Structure 1
Amino acid sequence: MLVVITYDVSTLTGAGQKRLRKVAKVCQNYGQRVQNSVFECFVDATQFASLKIELSNIIDPDEDSLRFYQLGNNYRNKVMHIGAKPSLDLEDPLIF
């Protein structure tokens, strides 16, 4: 299923800046960055549960926020892109 993750991490302190880097790194392990603080992740239910736990353990819920948008497996007709930096199709094979 396609999950869109957005986050807002307070970076007023060094600890906040560290949390921001950690959140981005975890998200990169599961998907691709499409904008600042926005990731598209193609995951199964188990991976999604792990991802939520990992991110929840990083953020400070009094200062930071996470949002998860579950678009499911039939996401193609729910996503429209306009402008620069088109995203990769996460289901296509990657060629290096």
Structure 2
Amino acid sequence: MEGDGVMDLLLTYDVDTTSAKGARRLRRVAKLCEGYGLRVQKSVFEIVTDEADLLRLLARIDDIIDAERDSIRIYRLPHNGLADVQTLGIAQVQSHRDDLVL
């Protein structure tokens, strides 16, 4: 995966849940993001992906959210930026590039 166009991202979202529709949007965004990366906080995901998958993710999020009520922020980190994370409290550094064991 290294060197073939993958990037490290931090994706955060704030979905207006003052309505039942908003609560549904929140669940849909969270479920979608779970398919792309690791949830590290309630509304924060660390993602390792390529440009094509990022474009697919953005298009799918755009179909879910209410652009006048919800906020999505994506930060592109330096190469291997997710390997250089400092944590405090119960937070744990998670590996994004190791093989998955099922």
Q: Normalized against structure 1, the TM-score is what? A: 0.90
CA RMSD of aligned residues (A): 1.3
The one-letter amino acid of 1:55's match is I
After the TM superposition, which parts of structure 1 deviate over 6 Å for at least 4 consecutive aligned residues? Answer: none
SS at match of 2:11: strand
C-alpha displacement of 1:53: 1.0
Q: 1:38 aligns with which of 17, 36, 44?
A: 44
Do structure 1's residue 66 and structure 2's residue 72 form an aligned pair?
yes
| Cα distance between partner residues in 1 of 2:67 and 2:93 | 30
| Cα distance between partner residues in 2 of 1:87 and 1:31 | 13
Do structure 1's residue 80 and structure 2's residue 78 form an aligned pair?
no
SS at match of 1:57: helix
Aligned residues: 95
The one-letter amino acid of 2:26's match is L
Q: Normalized against structure 2, the TM-score is what? A: 0.86
Q: Tell me what 2:55 maps to.
A: 49
Tell me the alpha carbon deviations over residues 39-96 of structure 1, each in whole angstroms, 9 at most, x when there is no partner: 011101111111111111111011110000011423134x322221313201012223
Per residue, is there more helix in 1 or in 2? 1
What stretches of structure 1 of length at least 5 have no aligned partner?
A: none
SS at match of 1:85: coil
